[in-house]
Amino acid sequence: MTVVAIDHIAEGRLQQLGLSANLLVRALLRADAEAKMTSGLEPPTAEGTTRYAKTVRYVREELVLLDWRFDNYKNFCRTIHPSGAFSIVTSSGDEFTGVEVPGMKPSTKYPKGDLTALAVMQNADQGVLDLGAHYAVNTVDLADLENIWFLLQRVTDQTIYAELSLPTAIENGGIVDWEERILLPQISRQDPPATVTIAEPPFGNGDAYNVEVALR
């Protein structure tokens, strides 16, 4: 049975992992700002590729300051807790990402590779998956693939839905079940209205006043 944490329970669980909702939201918004800069003049995958790469970067920028480290073995980009007990990877998710819908669970949006499958099986304690000689045990430390959490995000025109979740089942390359889901607050993609301060000339008594103007 999947445990789902929301609101203050989610924040408490994140703190147990050495994280916070604010930290992850900040990284997601920074990545979103860069993804917004892509245009139709670029390859069709530009926005998604940019969002993935910048999410990895900005999560790491936040966490390396807290003594986390990272590893990119075979392009499986993990950000690793200082204890080494668990790590985080990022991925896009389907329409059930970041929300609690009775009877439904999120899945990764696109099929994942062999290392992801191996990591999920390690999470589920299902033993070693035979991936052939190319992935011989002497090149993959199975302990490094235990307790890998996925920072999933789904992006609409208005909102980013996100969660940090621990997978336990994968089918046809897509993750379909989770031991635990920690839902982040829904993140608005709309820029807040800018304000400018207009300083008026002082009156005869030497006082001045400021007027806050919201730009629409």
Q: Is residue 105 within 8 Å of residue 167, measured between CB atoms? A: no
Sign (positive or negative) of CA dihedral 114, 86, 54, 10? positive
Question: At residue 129, does pLDDT exceed 70?
Answer: no
Q: What average pLDDT score do residues 195-215 get?
A: 57
Q: What average pLDDT score do residues 147-171 get?
A: 96
Could you read off the pLDDT of 3-38 as tens digits, one per residue? Answer: 999 999 999 999 999 999 999 999 999 999 999 999
Question: At residue 159, does pLDDT exceed 80?
Answer: yes
3-state secondary structure 35-84: HCCCCCCCCCCHHHHHHHHHHHHHHHHHHHCCCCEEECHHHCCEEECCCC
The larger pLDDT score, comparing residue 134 to residue 91, is at: 91
- Per-residue confidence (pLDDT) for residue 121, from 0 to 100: 86
Predicted model pTM: 0.81
- Per-residue confidence (pLDDT) for residue 145, from 0 to 100: 74
Domain map (residue ranges) of the chain: 3-214
CA–CA separation, 178 vs 72, rounded Å? 23
Please report, in angstroms and rounded to a whole number, the separation of the first and last CA atoms in the chain. Answer: 47
- Per-residue confidence (pLDDT) for residue 131, from 0 to 100: 41
Could you read off the pLDDT of 51-103 as tens digits, one per residue? Answer: 999 999 999 999 999 999 999 998 999 999 999 999 999 999 999 999 999 99
- Per-residue confidence (pLDDT) for residue 132, from 0 to 100: 45
- Per-residue confidence (pLDDT) for residue 43, from 0 to 100: 96
- Per-residue confidence (pLDDT) for residue 194, from 0 to 100: 60
One-letter amino acid for residue 120 of the chain: V
The larger pLDDT score, comparing residue 128 to residue 172, is at: 172
Look-up of token digits 């940090």: 164
Q: Is residue 175 within 8 Å of residue 164, measured between CB atoms? A: no
Could you read off the pLDDT of 166-202 as tens digits, one per residue? Answer: 999 999 889 999 999 999 999 999 976 666 555 555 5
Q: What average pLDDT score do residues 154-167 get?
A: 98
